[in-house]
Amino acid sequence: MQVIRPIQQSDFAALKQIAIDSGHGFTSLPVNDEILLNKITRSEQSFKQAVTQPGDQGYLFVLEDCQTKKIIGTTAIEASVGLSVPLYHYHRGKTVHHSPTLNVYNTVETLTMCNDYTGASEICTLFLHEDHRKGHAGRLLSRIRFLFMAEHPERFSDTVIAEMRGVSDKHGHSPFWQWLQEHFFSIDFPTADHLIGVGNKVFISELMPKFPIYANLLSQEAQAVIGQVHTKTKPALRLLEKEGFEHRGYVDLFDAGPTVEAKLNNIKTVRDSLVAPIEIAEVETEHAFAVCNHEIAQFRATVSNNVQYDASAQTLFVSQAIADALNLSSGDLVRFCKFN
């Protein structure tokens, strides 16, 4: 069985290995001991805080194999982004150059730097070790965030975003950044990526062009990747699209990967999830269910076929193993949704 729970200090070594394995472009987990330790501490404090509205909280979860006790993945939620450190995006727009006299009409795509997503909640830091990418684990890491948000909506914004990793090669070189580097920054993509990861974003406001960029002035390689995702990120994007997330024209400043958004109450897992008391029984069904307890600091969640919902009795039957893994007793309330 695999269980998702809040990260703790003893998970540091596993988190550092995930940061190493995640590679270039995964800016939310830089390979930096101090920053990783601070992320764990901040997450622990966030889970313990009494919260009535979203603020500077960050919730970092790990996926643990109950048999081996190995941490095989991470996932996270930022309650409200851009409050202490500005959150920058490019917004894709259009401008028209029209001359009736010459009978010329040209539409040109523009990229305008903005802070439009300030205050939104962000789902982020989803990573799963490659040898566990078959089965339910990846979808569990993605969807369990929405069960947690549905259970504790006061902690999150009405708008939820996800920044998707853009196109770069195995050496971390981004075609989009290559153009920016040549004309404005004079530092390579891995360096910029590292600076963002360690929280140093001052250079953005100092060096980034303040006026809209005409996309047709970029190289053909750079234009081709605007709004495109990294190959390894495509499965994550498909999961979010199934949840109702949409791309509204916002892209990352450095690799031009798309940012997708949804209203919290319109997210499929949030909308379709149910709350019911449990009864312990040895059951098995054709459909898997994702189940979480009602806790915050002691939050636990899993996915299993050893779950059965009796709609007439409005009761969820779960096995003893699931009850133990989620710290539940008969009569306790859980939130759940069909998983398949």
Residues belonging to the active site? 230
Distance CA 153, CA 95 (A): 39
Tell me if 301 sits within 8 A of 1, measured CB to CB.
no
- The values of phi and psi at residue 159, to 5°, are -105, 130
- Interatomic CA distance for residues 225 and 216, integer angstroms: 13
**Alpha-carbon torsion 84, 162, 74, 65, what sign?**
positive
Residue 150 burial class via C-beta count within 10 angstroms: exposed 0-12, middle 13-18, buried 19 and up: buried
DSSP state of 200: -
Q: Tell me how far apart the alpha carbons of residues 332 and 35 are, in angstroms, rounded to a whole number.
A: 37
Q: Are 122 and 260 in contact (CB under 8 A)?
A: no
Round to whole Å and give the CA distance between 61 and 300. 10
Angle between helices 234-242 and 137-151 (to 10 degrees): 40
**Rounded to an integer, what distance in angstroms lies between the CA atom of residue 214 and that of residue 39?**
38
Query: What is the rounded distance in angstroms from the CA atom of residue 66 to the CA atom of residue 63?
Result: 9
Tell me the C-alpha distance between 55 and 264, whole Å: 16
Distance CA(126)–CA(154), nearest Å, equals 23
Distance of alpha carbon 336 from alpha carbon 311, whole angstroms: 13
Of the candidates 289, 243, 290, 249, the one whose C-alpha atom is nearest the C-alpha of residue 264 is: 243
Joined tokens for residue 237: 């994007």
Can you read off the two tokens belonging to residue 310? 């009796």
